[in-house]
Structure 1
Amino acid sequence: MQDPNEDTEWNDILRQKGILPPKEEEITENEIIEMMEDKIHKANAGKSYEEMTLDELDELEDDEDERVLLQYRQQRIAEIKKLQQKEIYGSVKEISGIDYVKEVNEAGDGVWVVLHLYKQGIPLCTLINQHFAQLSRKFPATKFLKAVSTTCIPNFPDKNLPTIFVYFENDMKSQLIGPHTFGGMNLTVEDLEWKLSEIGAVKTDMEEKPKPKQRTTLTISSGRENNDDSSDDDY
């Protein structure tokens, strides 16, 4: 059975001829909020604070709390909608030199761009690309890019790899150049997230800087291990 409220040309013709009733108008969320605020206003009956009883003041306090919550909810809805409009990435895109201007310089208003220059065969570059994959999913409003270094900058020295450029609205905000900047292979995804949050490229939910990862040292000796508790009598 066809829905009489469905938006189709046939239903429009039937409504024009009076065969179908007019389509029911949907109540928007803003209209609901306005109705609630109107209800709160009427409940006060136009009285001043001095004219109200203690019970009426208690009711007013409850109504004021409800009004504040409604305003906060409306504000959060607007913020979420604005954020959702920007959440258009969610993955790492590979680019080359010919894409640089379009993908980086012309990324658009309010868009943070994080570009990783890398080269195959460099372990730390591989690690950062893995971290980028995780961070791009966590922060879909940020544009994560990667490019083989020499495809973007001819003769870019390998000693400067990995390198990360951070842009905002065609303005370079930061450069992270060389393995020492990242702490070598001890770099965790949390470390990188914190670095990018300090620049402003992502909004982290971490409350403090990650603690340095403990390095473990493996000692290999020839023959049997030196153990004070052992003696020749054990053999």
Structure 2
Amino acid sequence: MSINPNEDTEFNDALRKHGILPPREPTPPSPSPPPSPTFDDLLNDFTSSELQEFSEDAPDDETERIIAAYRKQRLADERKEDKKGRFGRVYPIGREDYTREVTEASNVDEEDDDNEKGTGVVCFLYKDGIPRSDRTFQHIRALATKYPRTKFVSIIGDKCIPNLPDTRVPMLIVYRKGDIRNQIVAWGADRERRQEGMCPCH
């Protein structure tokens, strides 16, 4: 008679007890069901306008109050983020604007910035018609959109620094708290550069 060692029988239990059959492998525990989402988790999936509708259609006053409070907090958070991301583009400046738009602007602390780190300002010096300068300008525009909390300004190189040689453009000067934190000269003159390798804004 053949014995199926995997069967759960008294006979197999006796054989295991005497060491004739190996012990049964323990049955793996059933996986725990995922926790039920909280009310906040559910609300997080909806837009502010959808939350407004849900609040109006709430089955009772308490639910309406909770949804309205959640929506109010969501709107406040969104406004705060909008204020932090207050730039988002490249601002052309002239030489007479430099102190105000670059040096002084880098001293402005963000709202709720307890560390008073100031604002990162990237000044891009360029010259039209120089291919590496034109390519870098494209990268700078993309970075300005990607990092809206950093201020990006552009100025023609020799309008900013008189007699600036073409060999030194494009140039990036990074300010924070009124000081120059980084300077990149003739970006892309030695080889083709990519946007990923040029984030001087932090």
Structure 2: how far apart are the matches of 1:163 and 1:28? 53
Alpha carbons of 1:169 and 1:155: their partners in 2 closer, same or farther (altered >3 Å)?
Answer: same
Question: What's the secondary structure of 2:88's corresponding residue?
Answer: coil
Residue aligning to 2:13: none
RMSD after superposition: 2.8
> What one-letter code is carried by the residue in structure 1 that aligns with 2:89?
S
Residue aligning to 2:82: 84
Instruction: Give the TM-score normalised by structure 1.
Output: 0.47
Q: Is 1:140 matched with 2:148?
A: yes
Does the aligned pair in 1 maintain the 2:139–2:195 contact within 8 Å? Answer: yes
Deviation per CA, 1:145-182: give whole Å up to 9, x if none: 11101111111122211110000121110110124xx4
Q: Is 1:188 matched with 2:194?
A: yes
Matches within 5 A, 1:152-163: 152-163=160-171
Residue aligning to 2:95: 97
Structure 2: how far apart are the matches of 1:183 and 1:131? 15
Matches within 5 A, 1:116-127: 116-127=124-135
Alpha carbons of 1:111 and 1:80: their partners in 2 closer, same or farther (altered >3 Å)?
Answer: farther
Question: What's the secondary structure of 1:186's corresponding residue?
Answer: coil
Structure 2: how far apart are the matches of 1:154 and 1:105? 19
> What one-letter code is carried by the residue in structure 2 that aligns with 1:100?
Y
Matches within 5 A, 1:1-235: 82-107=80-105, 108-109=108-109, 110-179=118-187, 182=188, 184-193=190-199, 196=200, 201-202=201-202
Does the aligned pair in 1 maintain the 2:132–2:189 contact within 8 Å? Answer: no
Question: What's the secondary structure of 2:198's corresponding residue?
Answer: helix
Consecutive unaligned residues in structure 2, runs of 5 or more: 1-63, 110-117
Structure 2: how far apart are the matches of 1:81 and 1:90? 15
- Of structures 1 and 2, the one scoring higher in RCO (CA 8 A, sep 6+) is 2
Deviation per CA, 1:62-110: give whole Å up to 9, x if none: xxxxxxxxxxxx9x99987654322111111111101101100111222
Structure 2: how far apart are the matches of 1:184 and 1:28? 59
Number of corresponding residues: 127
Instruction: Give the TM-score normalised by structure 2.
Output: 0.54
1:184 positional shift = 3.9
Q: Compare the two structures and name the one with the higher helix fraction.
A: 1
Determine what percentage of the aligned residue pairs are the same residue: 35
Consecutive unaligned residues in structure 1, runs of 5 or more: 1-25, 34-73, 203-235
> What one-letter code is carried by the residue in structure 2 that aligns with 1:101?
T
